[in-house]
Homo-oligomer: A and B are copies of this chain.
Amino acid sequence: MTVERRVIGVVGMPGSGKGIVDDVAKELKFLVVVMGDVVREETARRGLESTPENIGKMMLQIRKEEGSAVVAKRCVAKVVESESRCVLIEGIRSLDEVKEFRRNFPSFRLLAVHSSPETRFQRLFKRARSDDSASRGIFEERDGRELRVGIGAAIALADHVIVNEGEIEQFKAEIRRFLEPFLRE
């Protein structure tokens, strides 16, 4: 390839709005690679049901088996095989993954999306009340699993942060403002 690829990674806690970033990127004709899909594919390949719990456990399991950057490595292969010049990789969970992407794509940029825990809880458990301790437990367990993999450090070292607390259209506009310049580079 003579033209350098533009690769953007997305990191964010569950319920922060990463899926909306995917949607906007697809509209802009980015190739979108969802890191969770690699884990979902592996979960299915091993004959397990695709429940959030099984996928969460598989995320930890394959890291244990093949190292902390295993999912990133499989995504790099997907990107390299593709013909796309602008790529968005969604679902980064650690600095080891960030390093893997930077090593392969020198102009790699890391975008973090942030929503408060309260907002994320409301989005993920629409009918739950704040004092619904079962839902709270599931929510905090899921957050904890992500944090143990090291998602916090990746968020802390993001090149750009978009806050997703208000209207969805405003959030989408901010994502577009961030992504569009990469198309013109």
Contacts and interface: CB of A to CB of B under 8 A. Distances in A.
Which of the listed residues A95, A143, A160, A161 has the most CB atoms from chain B within 10 Å of its own CB?
A: A161
Interface string A119-163: 000000000000000000000000100110011111111111101
Contact of A116 (B95, B147, B150, B158): B158
A117 interface: yes
A13 interface: yes
A18 to B, nearest CB: 13
Contacts of A156: 13, 114, 146-147, 151-152, 155-156
Interface string A19-44: 00000000000000000000000000
A151 B152 CA distance: 8
Interface of A: 13, 95, 112, 114, 116-118, 143, 146-147, 150-161, 163
